[in-house]
Structure formats: C-alpha cells, structure tokens
Amino acid sequence: MTAAAPARPARPADLAVRAAEPRPAPTVAAFSKYLVPEVVFGWGALSEAGWAARRLGAQRPFVVTDAGLVQAGWWSELAGHLAEAGLRGTAWQELTPNPKDHEVAAGTERYLESGCDVIVGLGGGSVIDAAKAIAVVAGNGGQILDYEGVDKVTAAIPPTVMCPSTTGTGADVSQFAVITDTTRRLKATLIGRALVPDISITDPRLLTTMPDDLAAATGLDALTHGIEAFVSRASGPLTDVHALHAVELVCASLRGTLDRPEDRAARTAMAQASLEAGLAFTNAILGATHAMSHQVGGLLDLPHGVVNGVLLPHVIRFNARSGPDRFVPIARAMGVDVTGLPADVAAEEAAEAVGRLAADLGCPRGLAELGVREADIDTLAGTTLGDACLSTNPRDADHADVAALFRAAL
Ligand SMILES: [Fe+2]
C-alpha cells in the first residue's frame, strides 16, 4: 500500500480502513507497521505460563478455558505451572464454540467479582476470542458489541496471556476478536491494537488432544489465513514471508497430523503454521473468504475452518480474475509445480489444490450440505459487505459479486 500522507505512523487498522478507499490496482505496501506480542514457542512452552503472568504483574490469574481442555488435563497442568510461579489461578469455562455476546457478559461479571488481575486464555480460537472480549469489557464497561469495528477500545484492559490449543486461531497473536451477536445472528469483528495479547505461548503438545475434525478445520483456517494475508491489500514484506511459510507448512504437515497423531514434528510444524499465519493476518488483515465465512458462521454456528475450506477455492478464482500473479507463489508454496505456467493457470491450480485438501479432510463439497439455503444468500451477501475483512480483499466485491460467490459455493 502506498502512503498518501505519511505525517504520522500508519497503524494496521488504519491500513485496513484506507484499503477500502478507491485506489489503483492492489500493490504491496510501501511501508507497514508490524504488531506482535511477546512470543514463547516450542514443545513444553506451557511451563512458562506462570512466569509470563508474573512478568505482567499477576497476583491472581483468571483462566478462560473450556470443558474439553479441562478434561484433557491441560487446565490441571497449567494450574501447576501457575503454582510454580507462586500464583493461584481461577478457571472459568462457561463457553460454547463461536463465543456469544451473553457468554462474554457472564465471563466479565465473573472476572470482576473474582478480584483477578490478569486474563489467561487456554484453548482454541473461541476461548481466546472470549478471553480478549472479557478483558475489553472489564476495562471499558458496557457490552462487548459496543466495541465492534476498528479501534473502538480506548481504555486500558487487563494484561493477557494466550495459550492456543488448536492450529487455526491466530487469535493468540492477532488484533482481532470475533464474537457472535445473538440478536442479529452474525459474527461481530473487533479490530485494534488493544486486542493484541501481551504474551502468546504456543506449546505444540496441546495440539495432540485435538479431535481429528477440529485439527482438520483449524488447519484449513490457518491455510486460509496464510493465503488471504498474502494477497491482501495491506500485505507487506514482513507479512508475506510468514504468510507463504504458513501455507507451505500446512500443505506439508496437516495430512500427517491426521495420519500420525503422535508425530511430534508434524504437530510442531502445524503449531508454527498457525503462529506464522497469525503474525501475517493480524498485520495484513484478511479477505472475502473470512468476510463471507463470518456471516455463515453467525447464521448457523458452524466450524469456522470448514466454512473457509468450502469458500476459499471460489474466492481464489474470483480474485485471480483481476490479478492472478500473487497466486503463483501461493501455488508453489502448496507444492504445485507451476514451472512455465501462465499466472491464471497457476492460480486455478492453487484453487484446485485447496479444494483437494479440503475434500481429503472431509469438508463438504458445498455450503448447502452445511445447511445454507438459496433463500439465505441475499442476507448473507448484505452482511458480508459490512465485514471489516472485505476491505482488504484484493478485488472489490459488491453485493452481486458476493451473492454470486455464495451461489457458486452452495
Ligand atoms: Fe480464520
């Protein structure tokens, strides 16, 4: 993206907003700002959680998690690590997948009455988004949907430590949180630097207790993050390197984690893919796949990564029609031999490779199998236009374009 008025530093949220303005053909950013938390990565990294919380001044950590993580023993292990650092954590787990506005309200109430001072998220994207949302409301008051949009969080929020247990979220490093608005039945996106966690702890061991369907769905989400970040209007050299590497890691390792669940190298590669995809998309933002997927997920409470897997090949084809060049390195990163191929053919190869991977992982062939009906498309297309992720899609898309994409993916 070219800087029109470099009088003050550009922020990623600004970049996303400015990307929505009329502009020449998409280009790589001339400059960019790169937001990241402190990152602790590697096998066994969860043991650092107590000291991480201590570095943030914790006396009483409030741990947002879910029943699956508790059952798998991770909360118990984390409580032990907190104790090693002299801390006693309080766990809260009243959450469902795709966290709801009223669950955030309940969690905030519990946090405020607990007297805790640091929020730790232990779980997948839903848990981490909910943990962020609780921090936002605890520090700013009101309801979580008051903060929908870009940079609406203005007051300080409690420090946060995030420990992801799936491979798709990226929320542990991102400036995003997605919360289901149960009244409007859509997913509301919050964006801003206040939502970047203070410390991210990625321990690939946590991935070993994921059910296969979750590993497949969240792996496809990581792939989508990498591809959408790479072609985003707000992409830049620092995001490109992570985006492409994430795509390469997912395509080389995701099938392996399902065939060989105990394969430590494959799990570590997927954990790194998720982390790198997160570093890319939090700074480059995303695109039409996510803008559309958020609406489907809000309407039908479906696994986010599965919806992405169905939509992504269609969005690649749509975007490639106006600019196929950026899909050539993507196809290469996916392991496709594109030597000598014109860019539009390479882009089609990339779309087909995504479709094959999604099919191999058990994704349905279309949205209809997930419960989306022709009658839903007009509403879904309308709400997609209001999603912040659409602003960085490399090709402009109006209501008719988005409706056509939904129809093609049905
Ligand atoms: Fe995603």
DSSP state of 121: E
Report the separation in Å between the CA atom of 193 and the middle of ligand 1, taken as the mean of its atom positions.
18
Q: What is the pLDDT of residue 21?
A: 42
Cα gap 230→178, rounded to integer Å: 21
pLDDT above 90: percentage of residues in the chain: 83
Report the separation in Å between the CA atom of 117 and the middle of ligand 1, taken as the mean of its atom positions.
29
pLDDT at 94 over 90: yes
Cα gap 93→78, rounded to integer Å: 14
The residue type at 273? A
From 178, 206, 234, give the residue that closes a domain.
206
Residue 21 lies in a domain: no
Report the separation in Å between the CA atom of 293 and the middle of ligand 1, taken as the mean of its atom positions.
8
Q: Residue range 246-267: average pLDDT?
A: 94
What are the Cα distances from residue 210, in Å, to 167, 229, 297, 301, 393? Answer: 9, 25, 21, 19, 31
Cα gap 161→341, rounded to integer Å: 45
Q: Residue range 78-104: average pLDDT?
A: 95
Give the tokens for residue 173: 């490093």
Burial class (CB in 10 A: 0-12, 13-18, 19+), 213: middle
pLDDT at 317 over 70: yes
- Reference 180, options 221, 222, 126; nearest CA is 126
Report the separation in Å between the CA atom of 286 and the middle of ligand 1, taken as the mean of its atom positions.
9
Residue 2 lies in a domain: no
Q: What is the pLDDT of residue 30?
A: 65
pLDDT at 159 over 60: yes
To 10 degrees, what angle do helices 377-384 and 288-300 make? Answer: 130
Report the separation in Å between the CA atom of 343 and the middle of ligand 1, taken as the mean of its atom positions.
26
Residue 43 lies in a domain: yes
- Reference 128, options 38, 62, 197; nearest CA is 197
Report the separation in Å between the CA atom of 224 and the middle of ligand 1, taken as the mean of its atom positions.
7
For residue 308, give the CATH number of its domain.
Answer: 1.20.1090.10
pLDDT at 15 over 80: no
Residues 199 and 114 in one domain: yes
pLDDT digit string (tens) for 373-394?
999 999 999 999 988 899 999 9
Report the separation in Å between the CA atom of 346 and the middle of ligand 1, taken as the mean of its atom positions.
24
What lies within 8 Å, CB to CB, of 331 at 6+ separation is 338, 346, 347, 349, 350, 353
Residue 399 lies in a domain: yes
Residues 133 and 109 in one domain: yes
The phi and psi torsions of 61 (rounded to 5 degrees) equal: -75, 140
Report yes or no: 45 and 275 within 8 Å, Cβ to Cβ.
no
Residues 193 and 223 in one domain: no
What are the Cα distances from residue 363, in Å, to 189, 245, 354? Answer: 25, 23, 11
From 155, 187, 206, give the residue that closes a domain.
206
Q: What is the pLDDT of residue 219?
A: 95
Residue 266 lies in a domain: yes
- Reference 409, options 363, 353, 362, 357; nearest CA is 363
Residues 170 and 282 in one domain: no
Residues 46 and 182 in one domain: yes
Compute how many other C-beta atoms are within 10 angstroms of the C-beta atom of residue 355.
18
Report the separation in Å between the CA atom of 358 and the middle of ligand 1, taken as the mean of its atom positions.
15
Relative to beta strand 199-202, strand 160-164 is: parallel
Residue 377 lies in a domain: yes
Residue of 312 and 9 predicted with greater confidence: 312
Per DSSP, the three-state class of 123 is strand
How many structural domains does the chain have? Answer: 2
Report the separation in Å between the CA atom of 340 and the middle of ligand 1, taken as the mean of its atom positions.
32
From 142, 171, 206, give the residue that closes a domain.
206
Report the separation in Å between the CA atom of 40 and the middle of ligand 1, taken as the mean of its atom positions.
22
Cα gap 231→103, rounded to integer Å: 34
Residues 62 and 202 in one domain: yes
Report the separation in Å between the CA atom of 87 and the middle of ligand 1, taken as the mean of its atom positions.
33
Give the tokens for residue 346: 């390479």
Per DSSP, the three-state class of 287 is coil
Mean pLDDT of the chain: 91
Report the separation in Å between the CA atom of 319 and the middle of ligand 1, taken as the mean of its atom positions.
18
Report the separation in Å between the CA atom of 243 and the middle of ligand 1, taken as the mean of its atom positions.
13
Q: Residue range 340-348: average pLDDT?
A: 97
Q: What is the pLDDT of residue 13?
A: 42
pLDDT above 70: percentage of residues in the chain: 93
For residue 52, give the CATH number of its domain.
Answer: 3.40.50.1970
Report the separation in Å between the CA atom of 85 and the middle of ligand 1, taken as the mean of its atom positions.
33
pLDDT digit string (tens) for 326-343?
999 999 999 999 999 999
Report the separation in Å between the CA atom of 6 and the middle of ligand 1, taken as the mean of its atom positions.
31
Give the tokens for residue 183: 């009244």
**CA atoms 172, 177, 178, 181: torsion sign:** positive
Report yes or no: 399 and 405 within 8 Å, Cβ to Cβ.
no
Q: Across the beta sheet with 149-150, what order do the strands follow?
A: 149-150, 186-191, 176-181
pLDDT at 41 over 80: yes
Per-residue burial over 230-269, b if 16 or more Cβ lie within 10 Å, else e, is bbbbbbbebbbebbbbbbbbbbbbbbebbeeeebeebbbb
Provide the CB-side half-sphere exposure for 253 (13 A, CA): 25
Report the separation in Å between the CA atom of 169 and the middle of ligand 1, taken as the mean of its atom positions.
6
Report the separation in Å between the CA atom of 88 and the middle of ligand 1, taken as the mean of its atom positions.
32
Report the separation in Å between the CA atom of 58 and the middle of ligand 1, taken as the mean of its atom positions.
30
Give the tokens for residue 294: 């958020």
Report the separation in Å between the CA atom of 167 and the middle of ligand 1, taken as the mean of its atom positions.
10
- Helical H runs in 117-236? 125-140, 212-231
Report the separation in Å between the CA atom of 173 and the middle of ligand 1, taken as the mean of its atom positions.
13
Report the separation in Å between the CA atom of 251 and the middle of ligand 1, taken as the mean of its atom positions.
17
Residue 10 lies in a domain: no
Q: Residue range 351-359: average pLDDT?
A: 96
Residues 264 and 324 in one domain: yes
Residues 183 and 243 in one domain: no
- Alpha carbon 133 to chain centroid distance? 15
Report the separation in Å between the CA atom of 154 and the middle of ligand 1, taken as the mean of its atom positions.
25
Residues 73 and 199 in one domain: yes
Q: What is the pLDDT of residue 33?
A: 80
Residue 31 lies in a domain: no
Q: What is the pLDDT of residue 84?
A: 96
Residues 340 and 359 in one domain: yes
The phi and psi torsions of 292 (rounded to 5 degrees) equal: -75, -40
- Alpha carbon 16 to chain centroid distance? 16
Residues 197 and 340 in one domain: no
DSSP state of 4: S
Report the separation in Å between the CA atom of 359 and the middle of ligand 1, taken as the mean of its atom positions.
18
Its domain, for residue 314, covers: 211-409
Q: What stretch of H or E contains 119?
A: strand 118-123
Report the separation in Å between the CA atom of 304 and the middle of ligand 1, taken as the mean of its atom positions.
7
Q: What is the pLDDT of residue 8?
A: 34
Residue of 185 and 195 predicted with greater confidence: 195
Cα gap 86→83, rounded to integer Å: 5
Residues 58 and 196 in one domain: yes
Q: What is the pLDDT of residue 388?
A: 84
